Amino acid sequence: MTLKRVCVFCGSSPGRSPEYARAATEMGALLARRRIGLVFGGGRVGMMGKLAQAALEGGGEVIGVIPRFLHEKRVAFAGLSDLRVVGTMHERKALMAALADGFVALPGGLGTLEETFEMLTWAQLGMHGKPCGLLDVAGFFAPLLRFLDHVTEQGFIDDAHRGMVLSAGTPAELLERLERFEPVVADKAEWALGKMG
């Protein structure tokens, strides 16, 4: 699948290891170089700021999507040519999802995890067929990937849906996985009905 735009979810903090911010810069620069547009949360703080700055410096398309209440707190990235200010967090996520052909999570906190899991949830319900991957910088996501294996073993995630959670250690490898992704056809509702005794 050709990626025209990728939505990146990532921390509003830089995290403890400098490797995280480096990966955000690398991802932003790579997207610009590959002429893939960036859709992101519109913030200038933490990982988000590094990501957007690198994409802009590389001459890439950058679209920020931010809810009004955060915009008023002056955390938005100044100088974005395309900053969409929306009413609510839900509107923001819906617009980010609509604008992108794929989703990437870099290290981040609750916001990053929530946004990523919602995209995966929509995919397993067949609401979109867009790829979704985790950039496993310095093994950041390894405990989460192990937990997802555990949830799968315990019968709460279908193997096919577990397979939708792409991951790689470098931005280039992750984009390649996203591009190779074939939408999963297994229907979560049918899978759940099949489990009824």
Which one of 78, 110, 193, 196 is in contact with ligand AMP (CB under 6 A)?
Answer: 110
Residue 45 DSSP label: S
Nearest approach, Cβ of residue 8 and ligand AMP (Å): 8
Which one of 12, 25, 53, 167 is in contact with ligand AMP (CB under 6 A)?
Answer: 12
Which one of 1, 70, 99, 168 is in contact with ligand AMP (CB under 6 A)?
Answer: 70
Nearest approach, Cβ of residue 76 and ligand AMP (Å): 7
Other beta carbons within 10 Å of 123: 21
- Cβ proximity of 27 and 2 under 8 Å: no
Q: Per rule CB under 6 A, is residue 117 in the interface with ligand AMP?
A: no
Which of 3, 8, 5, 2 shows the shortest CA–CA distance to 119?
Answer: 8
Nearest approach, Cβ of residue 141 and ligand AMP (Å): 13
# of chain residues touching ligand AMP (CB under 6 A): 18
Q: Per rule CB under 6 A, is residue 23 in the interface with ligand AMP?
A: no
- Cβ proximity of 179 and 1 under 8 Å: yes
Handedness of CA 155, 102, 174, 80 (dihedral sign): negative
Which of 41, 39, 40, 9 shows the shortest CA–CA distance to 120?
Answer: 9
Q: Which residues bind ligand AMP (CB under 6 A)?
A: 9-13, 41-43, 45, 66, 70, 75, 108-112, 115
